[in-house]
Amino acid sequence: MAKVRVGIVGCGGIANQKHMPSLKANADLNEIVAFCDIIEERAVKAKADFGTEDAKVYTDYHDLVNDPNVDVVHVCTPNVSHCPISVAAFEAGKHVMCEKPMAHNTEDAQKMIDAWKKSGKKFTIGYQNRLRDDTQTLHASCEAGELGEIYFAKAHALRRRAVPTWGVFPNKALQGGGPLIDIGTHALDITLWMMNNYEPASVSGSVNYKLGRLPEGPEGNVFGPWDPETFEVEDSAFGFIKMKNGATIYLEASWALNILKSMEASTTLCGTKAGAEIHHGGSYPQDELIYNTVEHNQLMEKTISPAGVVDFFEGGASAEGVREQKQWLEAIINDTEPLVKPEQAFVVTQILEAIYKSAETGKEVYFD
């Protein structure tokens, strides 16, 4: 079987911490044959660490996407550049895995969808948290109808003081937003996936620029102090989402919030037969999946704690990252659908943008 030939655009944090180690762990299915970064030294180092001996190094993504030796392009760049790179890759006849979120706004996300459909190639977004043990188990429960109709949910992406102080995270022009678009996107993706509900009716949102801009704000941050003068994005955001079938979702996201419990890529589901919660993140040394139900006229909780928490801050390939790449590469090889479908990721972008818009206008945002 011929290996899938991968090209990496953007050789910074997420490429080194997730994509390239996870691709290396699936070396029987792929080889990385091209690397691109606007800082050439980063691409050169990535080649040395993860590439084939004759892998190409580029500083212009147009050169990489048009390289005939590249089959699939991984887009690992700041959010605002996801669209032009992905579109160019589709126009060059490549498959595309784009890191989350799909785009920083719906207009760009729609351009990506249009280019994908025209290309006939594979397309997915990097929501690796779907591949954790706890999320896979809960999704199987939801698919089997064990929770009944899920009519209320919470999507949790809360950090107490864990503002990323590297890269371009605080830069609104390059990222499009802060914790809502960075980690809130994972929590919302998991929640919508569990509910199998991708039809929002309206969104109300609140966005805060509080702790990030206080002179004393950097104190206690687990990633070291940030600069309040360059902290351009929100430090917390909240959204209330009404779905067309009457279900509601509450989304909470923060990099800095004075709370006791920190959790991200987590969800709470309330169904007609039972409920369930996933606890993942800073306050939990192990992922927790807790079901709540009634048995023999008694309220019952069932807890599963299968795995340790792995976030992509220390580098290396986590189990979910390796699984993500395996199913993606096999989708290309076997001409099957990847786990994360572009249409699903598009709805996540729509909702996130609506929260920002609602907060800016003070009005509820309605979908057609």
The per-residue pLDDT for range 48-61, each reduced to its tens digit, is 999 999 999 999 99
Q: What phi and psi values does residue 202 have, to the nearest 5 degrees?
A: -160, 160
Residue 304 has pLDDT above 90, yes or no: no
pTM for this one?
0.94
Residue 135: both structure tokens together:
């999320």
Q: Is residue 35 a part of any domain in this protein?
A: yes
- Let me know whether 357 and 213 are in one domain: yes
Examine the pLDDT at 219 and tell me if it is beyond 90. no
Distance CA(108)–CA(268), nearest Å, equals 30
139 and 227 together in one domain: yes
Is residue 205 within 8 Å of residue 239, measured between CB atoms?
Answer: yes
Residue 320 maps to a domain = no
Asked whether 173 and 81 are in contact (CB, 8 A), the reply is no
Whether the pLDDT of residue 189 is over 50: the answer is yes
Domain boundary among 92, 121, 150: 121
| 109 and 51 within one domain | yes
Residues 278 and 302 in one domain: yes
- What value does the mean pLDDT of the chain take? 94
| Tally of domains within the chain | 2
Residue where a domain stops, chosen among 121, 155, 174:
121
At 346, which helix (H) or strand (E)? helix 342-361
22 within domain boundaries: yes
Residue 120 pLDDT: 96
The answer as to whether 340 is a domain residue is no
Q: Is the pLDDT of residue 315 over 90?
A: no
Tell me: do 138 and 99 sit in the same domain. no
How far is CA 75 from each of CA 6, 85, 93, rounded to the nearest angstrom?
11, 7, 15
If asked whether residues 51 and 181 sit together in one domain, one would say no
Tokens representing residue 307 in the block: 């795995």
282 or 142, higher pLDDT: 142
Burial of 220 (0-12, 13-18, 19+ CB in 10 A): exposed
Least confident window among 80-94, 148-162, 223-237, 291-305: 291-305
Average the pLDDT over 9-36 and give the result. 97
The residue range of the domain holding 294 is 130-313+346-366
Residue 268 lies in a domain: yes
For residue range 170-187, what is the model confidence (pLDDT) as tens digits?
Answer: 999 889 999 999 999 999
Asked whether residue 88 falls in the same domain as residue 211, the answer is: no
Q: Please list the residues that pair with 277 across neighbouring strands.
A: 268, 290
**Dihedral sign, CA of 50, 51, 56, 61?**
negative
One domain, residues 358 and 220 = yes
Does residue 55 sit in helix, strand or coil? strand
What average pLDDT does this structure show over 105-121?
98
User: Is residue 95 domain-shared with residue 184, that is, in the same domain?
Assistant: no
Check whether residue 237 and residue 360 sit in a common domain: yes
Residue type, 83: C
Q: Amino acid identity of 221?
A: N
- Count of CA atoms in the C-beta half-sphere (13 A) of 285: 0
Query: In this predicted model, what pLDDT tens digit does every residue of 147-173 receive, in sequence order?
Result: 999 999 999 999 999 999 988 899 998
Tell me whether residue 331 is in a domain: no
pLDDT reading at 310 higher than 70: no
Residues 168 and 291 in one domain: yes
Query: CA-to-CA distance for 292 and 277, rounded, in angstroms?
Result: 8
Q: 64-80, pLDDT tens digit by residue?
A: 999 999 999 999 999 99
Domain C-terminal end among 93, 121, 149: 121
Dump pLDDT digits (tens) for 79-111: 999 999 999 999 999 999 999 999 999 999 999
Grouping H, G, I as helix, E, B as strand and the rest as coil, residue 248 is strand
